[in-house]
């Protein structure tokens, strides 16, 4: 069973996932704070290069399996045209209603 995007409790995370799944780069950027950062499997990455490669040019999509009580941690089945599907964990730091940092990796 999956959790629909509109049922995610944290508004900034809901905007992030909704934009990612819609492959909407403009809305995705709007969900991020001005100095947002990220890491993948424990290594900091260039956010713009990573999102272009792992999300937008490879049609990334996430199906949410679970969320933490505060809505800042997700477990999802993530799929893109490069890697196929994998079970992933996502954690978010939100500041001023925007995602300031996200960390992802295999769950």
Residue 23: what pLDDT? 97
Domain hosting residue 21, numbered range: 5-106
- Residue 28 is given by DSSP the state H
Tokens at 102, concatenated? 């996200």
pTM: 0.96
Buried b (16+ CB within 10 A) or exposed e, 1-16: eebebeebebebbbbb
Spatial strand order of the sheet with 73-80 comes to: 43-45, 32-40, 98-106, 84-95, 73-80, 61-67
- Residue 56 is given by DSSP the state I
Average of per-residue pLDDT across 1-22:
96
Nearest residue to 92 via CA among 1, 31, 49: 31
Does pLDDT of 1 surpass 90? no
Residue 70: what pLDDT? 96
Domain with 93 in it: what CATH number? 3.10.450.50
Residue 21: what pLDDT? 98
Nearest residue to 29 via CA among 103, 105, 99, 102: 99
pLDDT band of residue 97 (cuts 50, 70, 90) is very high
Span 12-68, pLDDT tens digits: 999 999 999 999 999 999 999 999 999 999 999 999 999 999 999 999 999 999 999
Residue 39: what pLDDT? 98
Residue 6: what pLDDT? 96
Number of domains in the chain: 1
């Amino acid at each position: 069973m999956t959790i629909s995007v509109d049922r995610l409790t944290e508004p900034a995370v809901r905007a992030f996932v909704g934009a990612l799944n819609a492959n909407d780069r403009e809305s995705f950027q709007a969900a991020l704070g001005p100095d947002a950062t990220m890491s993948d499997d424990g290594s900091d990455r260039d956010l713009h290069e990573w999102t272009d490669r792992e999300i937008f040019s490879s049609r990334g999509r996430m199906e949410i399996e679970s969320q933490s009580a505060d809505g800042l941690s997700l477990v999802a089945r993530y799929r893109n045209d490069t890697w196929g599907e994998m079970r992933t964990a996502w954690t978010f730091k939100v500041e001023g209603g925007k995602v300031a940092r996200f960390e992802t990796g295999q769950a």
